[in-house]
């Protein structure tokens, strides 16, 4: 099943020729994939056969240039993919993932504390809350319009009637700027989380160090804690790949456990640092999936 098959626009019909053209791109260019979804006039319906009802995802309409530059007013394919992984892992559904190096249950969030950084629409966080996580914290840049829409989406969808078990985990929304660790939110949640979600946050190379710092700060020290990082190649491989550099991760006390590439139809291949000149339409089909963990210190060999 195609990654984008669960998404549909919801809202008034339009007479705008540009909207007609945009909605027809998949017919005109069958190999082209939409990697960002929605607009301020149309909300989105996320329909899963494993949820009792569709999720209704509204999108913000930022009027400030700085807010528009965040691109959090779209749903991105990286969020769709992580939501799919969480659903399959937690509900024990069949899923071929990680080139055979991982199992679906590796993405089980049952009973876990979850944090999402740069959440945008918070789709994987909402899915986690509905499927059995113990607590979910959703964060994005502390912009009023971004946080207002996040809270609206949480309120609309994080309800027991949307859960297969008729339960929903506590879910909070807070502002957090990556790397700013002297705030009340950062101070009260240091080392709290079993999983940290990062979806399509790698397109700003100048923020990689700050993102490393936040992941390391909030991830707990358990040997089982992980950060799941999913990012599309639509902005170019060179913009996002340095996030996964070993030395940069080590500076933040992190290491890469696994990394691979997956396209919108579920085809997987090994991660490549450089694939030469990549066609824009082709690279839009692919996403990188990385699993990070805290650096494991060597054993001292001294019993205790």
Quick one: pLDDT at residue 275? 95
Average pLDDT on 97-105 reads: 93
Quick one: pLDDT at residue 37? 65
Q: CA of 260: how far to CAs of 98, 112, 150, 239, 278, in Å?
A: 6, 24, 30, 17, 17
pLDDT band, residue 29 (cuts 50/70/90): very low
User: Who has greater pLDDT, 12 or 161?
Assistant: 161
Q: How far apart (Å, rounded) are the C-alpha atoms in residues 49 and 221? A: 36
Q: Cα-atom radius of gyration of the chain, to the nearest Å?
A: 19
Spell out the alpha helix ranges (H) of the chain. 17-23, 25-28, 65-68, 77-91, 123-131, 144-157, 184-189, 208-218, 237-240, 246-251, 280-283
pLDDT in tens, 185-194: 999 999 999 9
Residue 27 has pLDDT above 50, yes or no: no
Q: Determine the distance from the C-alpha atom of residue 14 to the mean position of all C-alpha atoms in its chain, rounded to a whole number.
A: 30
Quick one: pLDDT at residue 3? 86
* Beta strand spans in 11-125 (E): 36-37, 43-46, 55-57, 75-76, 113-117
pLDDT in tens, 249-272: 999 999 999 999 999 999 999 999
Q: How far apart (Å, rounded) are the C-alpha atoms in residues 162 and 164? A: 7
């Amino acid at each position: 099943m195609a990654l984008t098959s669960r998404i549909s626009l919801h809202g008034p019909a339009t007479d705008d020729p540009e909207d007609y053209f945009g909605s027809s791109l998949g017919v005109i260019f069958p190999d082209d994939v939409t990697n960002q979804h929605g607009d301020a006039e149309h909300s989105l319906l996320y329909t899963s056969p494993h949820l009792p009802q569709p999720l209704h995802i509204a999108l913000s309409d930022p009027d400030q240039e700085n807010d528009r530059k965040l691109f959090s007013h779209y749903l991105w394919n990286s969020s769709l993919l992580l939501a799919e992984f969480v659903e399959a892992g937690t509900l024990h559904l069949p899923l071929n993932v990680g080139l055979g190096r991982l199992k679906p249950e590796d993405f089980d969030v049952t009973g876990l504390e979850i944090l999402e950084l740069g959440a945008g629409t918070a789709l994987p966080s909402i899915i986690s809350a509905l499927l059995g996580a113990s607590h979910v914290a959703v964060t994005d840049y502390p912009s009023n319009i971004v946080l207002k829409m996040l809270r609206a989406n949480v309120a609309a969808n994080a309800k027991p009637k949307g859960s297969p078990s008729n339960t929903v985990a506590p879910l909070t929304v807070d502002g957090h700027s990556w790397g700013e660790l002297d705030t009340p939110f950062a101070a009260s949640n240091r080392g709290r989380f079993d999983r940290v979600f990062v979806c399509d946050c790698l397109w700003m190379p100048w923020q990689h160090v700050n993102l490393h710092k936040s992941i390391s700060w909030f991830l707990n020290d358990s040997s089982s804690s992980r950060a799941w990082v999913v990012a599309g190649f639509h902005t170019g491989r060179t913009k996002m790949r340095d996030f996964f550099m070993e030395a940069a991760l080590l500076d933040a006390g992190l290491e890469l456990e696994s990394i691979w590439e997956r396209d919108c139809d579920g085809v997987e291949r090994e991660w490549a640092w450089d694939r030469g000149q990549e066609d824009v339409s082709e690279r839009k089909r692919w996403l990188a999936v990385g699993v990070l963990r805290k650096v494991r210190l060597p054993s001292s060999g001294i019993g205790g």
